[in-house]
Amino acid sequence: MIGLLELRRRKLQFGLIALVVTLVSYLVLMINGLGVGLNIQAGSVLRNFNADGIAYSDNAGLSVIRSELSSEAVTAIADADGGDRTAPLGYVAANYRRTSGVVKSAAFLGFVPGTIGEPDLVKGRILAADDERALLADSRFLAVADLEVGDTVSVTVRLVTEEFVIVGEIDEGAFFFQPAVYVLLSTWQRLRYGESGDGQPAASIVLVKGGDLVPGEGPGYKIVGKGTAFNNIEGVQGQQSTVQALRVFGFVIGGLVIAVFFYVITLQKVTQIGILKAVGASSMFVFRQLVIQVLFVTSVAVAVSVLLAWATALALRQLPDGVPIAFTTQTYVLTVAGLFVVGLLATLISGRQVLKVDPIIALGQQQ
């Protein structure tokens, strides 16, 4: 194939193009990785809930932070569902002190052991009913805080500092860009509202699994699916649309880079294309060579950029406060497919130029 032979003989020229496409492709991958990473940081805990829906107080505007459910509402939701597939959950942000002395924030989630609100344990043990000063910490929390199961951590909320023993490790992710920590619901109530008193909310939200309650509403509460709940996490919509805009820009810029480079190359080769056509090559034959070259350059660039992105993600994970960039197989596949599509679309511009080349040019004449 002439297209491949040209690639082989013009390594420097095509190598430079591949380098630029690699950088653009790397940028697009990183933007997509950022989108996934931000999603994980924003609410992977919510996505990992063993539930189909989440009940909020009806005046909370689907905000976990603002939602406060009374014990009557929690009971009403449980009764509406039959009672065995709901679980009250409390949320409060609290500061903890790392062993290094640095103060960081964590998402404290109060749950009732034995319900669907109980997280899956990776190491250690689950909380017992009397574990008022114990917690289950996410793997990431332990890693960045340099803590492990059995350690004690001081937690500050509402100007009060308490010591907690880490009794178990979980892998539920993050909530509101903070690592997740699970405590008993009663502990959450104390942290959130102080020592017991009448009229305190019984939970922030209630997890609902199965049944026909999702979506739905009742006296004082509103139930939505996990997808809706995730999209209503504060800042997620804006963050996702920003990432989406960057993603689109990335693809457009990638397409333009490929289009411009190959268009310039095509313009430089007008006489050669004319000669090929003069000796009997069809426009389709010439265009095919162009497509082969674009596919080859894009393949090399994408392969290198995927490796680079993977290595970058690996390196970023080693940092104590990781940059929120994460890759899934789907991220790689969709980004790579997208880059190939824009690359091929970009060749259409050069293809139009190929069609316009008149073989008479080989005789040094213009019609």
Partner 1 sequence: MNETLLLSASGLSKTYGSGETAVAAVRDVDVTARRGEFIAIVGPSGSGKTTLLAMIGGLLTPTSGSVMIEGRDVAKLGARERARYRRESVGYVFQANNLLPFLTARENMTVVAAIGGGDRRAAGRRADLILEELGISNRTGALATELSGGERQRVAIGRSLMNDPALILVDEPTASLDSARGRQVVELLAFEVRSRDKLGIMVTHDDAMASLADRFIELSDGSLVGAGSSG
Question: Which parts of this chain interact with partner 1 (CB under 8 A)?
Answer: 1-2, 5-6, 9-10, 272, 275-282, 285, 359-360, 362-365, 367
Strands 134-138 and 160-170 turn out to be parallel
Helical H segments across 269-282, by residue range: 270-278
Compare residues 2 and 23 and give the one whose CB is closer to partner 1.
Answer: 2
Q: How far is the CB of 275 from partner 1 (least distance, A)?
A: 6
Closest CA to 132 of 173, 88, 189, 92: 189
Compare residues 196 and 365 and give the one whose CB is closer to partner 1.
Answer: 365
Q: How far is the CB of 10 from partner 1 (least distance, A)?
A: 6
- C-beta atoms surrounding 321 within 10 Å: 8
Compare residues 124 and 359 and give the one whose CB is closer to partner 1.
Answer: 359
Q: How far is the CB of 291 from partner 1 (least distance, A)?
A: 16
Question: E strands of 185-332, at which residues?
Answer: 205-208, 216-218, 221-225
Q: How far is the CB of 356 from partner 1 (least distance, A)?
A: 13
Tokens, residue 366: 């213009």
Q: How far is the CB of 14 from partner 1 (least distance, A)?
A: 11
Q: How far is the CB of 350 from partner 1 (least distance, A)?
A: 17
Length of the chain in terms of residues written: 367
Q: Which residues pair with 203 in a beta bridge?
A: 69
Compare residues 96 and 287 and give the one whose CB is closer to partner 1.
Answer: 287
Is-contact 254 262, C-beta < 8 A?
no
Is-contact 235 326, C-beta < 8 A?
no
Q: How far is the CB of 348 from partner 1 (least distance, A)?
A: 20
What 8-state DSSP symbol labels residue 103? E
Tokens, residue 296: 């080859």
The residues, ordered by sequence, that sit 6+ positions from 58 with a Cβ below 8 Å of its Cβ are: 217, 220, 221, 222
Q: How far is the CB of 270 from partner 1 (least distance, A)?
A: 13
Compare residues 272 and 299 and give the one whose CB is closer to partner 1.
Answer: 272
Compare residues 167 and 276 and give the one whose CB is closer to partner 1.
Answer: 276
Question: E strands of the chain, at which residues?
Answer: 53-57, 86-97, 103-111, 121-124, 134-138, 152-157, 160-170, 174-175, 178-184, 205-208, 216-218, 221-225
Compare residues 200 and 272 and give the one whose CB is closer to partner 1.
Answer: 272
**Whole-angstrom Cα distance, residue 105 to residue 97?**
9
Compare residues 102 and 264 and give the one whose CB is closer to partner 1.
Answer: 264
For residue 347, give Cα distances in angstroms to 56, 258, 281, 290, 340.
51, 8, 19, 7, 11
Compare residues 211 and 359 and give the one whose CB is closer to partner 1.
Answer: 359
Q: How far is the CB of 364 from partner 1 (least distance, A)?
A: 6
